[in-house]
Amino acid sequence: MSTFDDRERAFESKYAHDAEMQFKAVARRNKRLGLWAAGLLGKTGADAETYASEVIRADFEEAGHEDVFRKVAADLGGHADEATIRAKMAEFLIEAKAEMVQPD
């Protein structure tokens, strides 16, 4: 086996790991966003968790984050504007990535 093959395999492993970590961070972000939105909608407990799960599932409708934004924006109606929702999405992604780096 050549050094090139080893380097290629290492690169592929790193890419797969990075993609998995990004996927997990986005899922955590979506859960936080869902719980935040649920709070604005007056949902608590199991209802809030169910809503957060719906937000997570919304991310599988299409590539990118617009599907999640559209769902939350439509559900919230006048409770939050576009800038607030997008700011929360960015904030929660940063928090989710930081949480994944630091062990509990």
pTM of the entire predicted model: 0.84
pLDDT in tens, 43-93: 999 999 999 999 999 988 888 889 999 999 999 998 999 999 999 999 999
Q: Residue 102: what are its φ and ψ, rounded to 5°?
A: -90, 125
Hey, what amino acid is at 44?
T
pLDDT of 4 strictly over 90 = no
Give the pLDDT band (50/70/90) at residue 19. confident
What average pLDDT does the chain have? 90
What are the residue ranges spanned by the domains of the chain? 3-101
Ramachandran region of residue 76, left (φ > 0), alpha (ψ -120 to 50) or beta? alpha
Q: Which fold has domain 3-101?
A: Major Prion Protein (1.10.790)
Please report how many Cα atoms fall inside a 13 Å half-sphere around the Cα of residue 44, on the Cβ side: 1
Give the pLDDT band (50/70/90) at residue 1. low
